[in-house]
């Protein structure tokens, strides 16, 4: 490398941070490049701020209304024994027991229907041991096909007032129906979307698993901020009733095409059916919740994201466009998804090209082609604006979620969330390419499950995942990860610039202090089992 080329590489700066004579970095307020706005758009987007503001307005409005318990229940309110629970399962012998156990806490055994869809293990046998109804489908028909078969086989439409679809890796909250059924008092509502909760048992996962589950925890929080606004009764543009725990009024089921050919998942299609055919509104509340497992390894995680993305693209292709605020809101959301995915993938490619300079000591700048590419890219992207306009804003969101969820562990794993976003972007764009080539049957392969939790000696049933947390053990695992992650982050910050490390350390200290102060242990709730020897049943439950 020539001396002149090396000097050029060391002196040029593509950031609004200019190097002063004292060795510090000064911000040039007169030069703000478009790339900074692009990076901020990548972090915050349009949908998240807009729907969060609407969610806040909804929350303010509903805070002035009487609580459900303060008003008399109407005479026609649906009872829990009028709700059918359907649990589609494919090779779920390791997790089906906990899902059935949670279902039996809210409805009688005769209301629970397990669909063993092409199972090659003991799923059907284990389910039958609980005394619930079992439909063994061989060969498998996929989740949508199994649900459609159960509705016809068990005559669910005529025997029940509502259908609750629960995944085999989901544990329904004991108060799901207590809080969800009042939403169906209004005949204009056709479905209730469940609120996703992720069990946090870090000692049961690897570091990669803890990273992926922590990212999902943040993602669910953000998406449900949006859904709380999207499901406001004045708007009603919720794009999905999640299939892990969604409840439908059975009167709308005959008018829905639940199992159209060529779709890999059912929940997007069922939601679009509600909107497209104007069958009713979708209700959503954080009090209507369920606990579900997220993949804890890269293979299962990528396959799940790819399956979800492909199902969304297939649903959009099937239903097409129609006039209305739902389609407008969905179109804006999808445009943001595509543009953000392209930006993330582009940043990775550009970052790899820009990293060749410092990694090789600058000698690659002697290559004419690379020197021209580097000169073109350097004014637009540098490590400094990536940190200030991408990483730190994204980490700020993680800090906010950590405070709201009382999860200080998010501060540790939040350093790797941008890497997980790259996986999401790659899966999204790959499936967009594949949607015109793939014709799915709806069959699926279950991801790796945690070993089943056996009930303690003398107890009839296993506790919910939400009741299994061991705070002391979990904190020790997170602390060990922090001792690895934080020194690496400090070294990277020092390698970039002194000011960056100072800002990073300040953010970490403030965030850690705020979250630690707000992190209070919640009292464990006593849960009454269904069908106990005394026959006592909690209000609103069976």
| 439 within some domain | no
Any residues with CB less than 8 A from the CB of 136 and at least 6 apart, and which?
116, 119, 124
Highest mean pLDDT: which of 304-313, 346-355, 482-491? Answer: 304-313
| 422 within some domain | no
The DSSP result for 208-223, as a single string, is HHHHHHHHHHHHHHHH
Confidence of residue 1 (pLDDT cuts 50, 70, 90): very low
Identify the weakest region by mean pLDDT among 232-236, 392-396, 484-488: 484-488
pLDDT recorded at residue 358: 75
| 376 within some domain | no
CATH number at residue 291: 3.90.550.10
| 511 within some domain | no
**CB count in 10 Å sphere of residue 272:** 24
| 184 within some domain | yes
The DSSP result for 6-21, as a single string, is HHHHHH---SSEEE-T
For 88-111, the pLDDT digits (tens) are 999 998 889 999 999 999 999 999
In DSSP terms, 291 is beta-bridged to: 171, 197
Torsions phi, psi of 100, nearest 5?
-65, -40
Identify the weakest region by mean pLDDT among 122-126, 138-142, 281-285, 373-377: 373-377
pLDDT above 90: residue 213: yes
For residues 229-252, give the mean pLDDT.
95
Q: Would you report the helix, strand and coil content of the chain in percent, each value rounded to 5?
A: 55, 10, 35
Number of domains into which the chain is organized = 1
pLDDT recorded at residue 65: 73
For 462-502, the pLDDT digits (tens) are 555 544 556 777 888 888 888 888 777 776 666 665 555 55
| 200 within some domain | yes
Confidence of residue 374 (pLDDT cuts 50, 70, 90): confident
Domain ranges, residue 230: 78-297
What percent of the chain has pLDDT above 70? Answer: 77
Whether 110 and 530 have beta carbons less than 8 Å apart is answered as no
| 165 within some domain | yes
Alpha-carbon gap, residue 491 to 488, rounded angstroms: 5
| 381 within some domain | no
What percent of the chain has pLDDT above 90? Answer: 52
Please give the angle made by the CA atoms of 326, 328 and 331, to the nearest 5 degrees. 105
């Amino acid at each position: 490398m020539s001396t002149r080329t090396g000097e050029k590489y060391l002196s040029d700066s593509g950031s609004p941070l200019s190097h002063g004579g004292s060795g510090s970095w000064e911000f040039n307020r007169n030069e703000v490049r478009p790339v900074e706005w692009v990076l901020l758009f990548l972090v915050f987007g349009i949908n998240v701020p807009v729907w969060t503001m609407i969610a806040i307005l909804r929350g303010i409005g509903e805070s002035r209304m009487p609580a459900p318990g303060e008003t008399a229940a109407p005479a026609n309110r649906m009872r829990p024994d009028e709700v059918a629970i359907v649990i589609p399962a494919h090779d779920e012998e390791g997790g089906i027991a906990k899902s059935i156990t949670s279902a039996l806490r809210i409805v009688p055994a005769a209301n629970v229907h397990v669909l063993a869809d092409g199972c090659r293990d003991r799923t059907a046998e284990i389910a039958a041991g609980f005394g619930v109804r079992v439909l063994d489908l061989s060969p498998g028909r996929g989740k949508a096909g199994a649900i459609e078969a159960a509705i016809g086989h068990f005559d669910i439409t005529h025997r029940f007032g509502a259908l609750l679809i629960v995944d085999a890796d989901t544990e329904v909250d004991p108060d799901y129906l207590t809080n969800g059924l009042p939403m169906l008092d209004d005949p204009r509502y056709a479905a209730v979307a469940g609120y996703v909760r992720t069990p946090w048992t870090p000692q049961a996962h690897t570091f990669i698993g803890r990273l992926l589950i922590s990212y999902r925890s943040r993602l669910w929080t953000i998406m449900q901020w949006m859904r709380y606004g999207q499901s406001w009764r004045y708007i009603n543009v919720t794009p999905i009733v999640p299939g892990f725990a969604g409840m439908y009024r059975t009167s709308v089921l005959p008018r829905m095409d639940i199992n159209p050919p060529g779709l890999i998942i059912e929940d997007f299609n069922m939601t679009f059916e509600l909107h497209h055919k104007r069958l009713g509104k979708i209700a959503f509340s954080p009090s209507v919740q369920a606990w579900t497992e997220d993949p804890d390894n890269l293979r299962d995680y990528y396959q799940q994201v790819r399956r979800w993305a492909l199902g969304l693209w297939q649903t959009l292709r099937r239903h097409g466009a129609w006039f209305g605020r739902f389609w407008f809101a969905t179109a804006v959301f999808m445009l943001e998804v595509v543009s953000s995915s392209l930006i993330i993938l582009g940043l990775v490619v550009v970052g790899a090209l820009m990293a060749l300079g410092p990694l090789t000591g600058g000698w690659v700048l002697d290559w004419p082609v690379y020197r021209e590419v580097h000169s073109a890219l350097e004014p637009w992207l540098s490590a400094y604006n990536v940190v200030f306009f991408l990483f730190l804003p994204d980490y700020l969101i993680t800090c906010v979620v950590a405070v709201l969820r009382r999860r200080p562990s998010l501060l540790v794993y939040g350093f790797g969330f941008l890497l997980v976003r790259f996986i999401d972007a790659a899966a999204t764009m790959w499936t967009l390419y594949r949607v015109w080539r793939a014709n799915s049957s709806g069959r699926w392969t279950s991801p790796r499950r945690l070993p089943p939790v056996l009930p303690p000696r003398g107890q009839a049933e296993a506790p919910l995942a939400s009741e299994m947390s061991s705070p002391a053990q979990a904190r020790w695992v997170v602390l060990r990860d922090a001792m690895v992650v934080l020194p690496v982050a400090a070294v990277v910050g020092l390698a970039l610039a002194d000011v960056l490390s100072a800002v990073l350390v300040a953010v970490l200290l403030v965030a850690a202090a705020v979250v630690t102060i707000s992190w209070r242990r919640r009292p464990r709730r006593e849960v009454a089992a269904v069908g106990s020897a005394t026959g006592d049943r909690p209000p609103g439950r069976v």
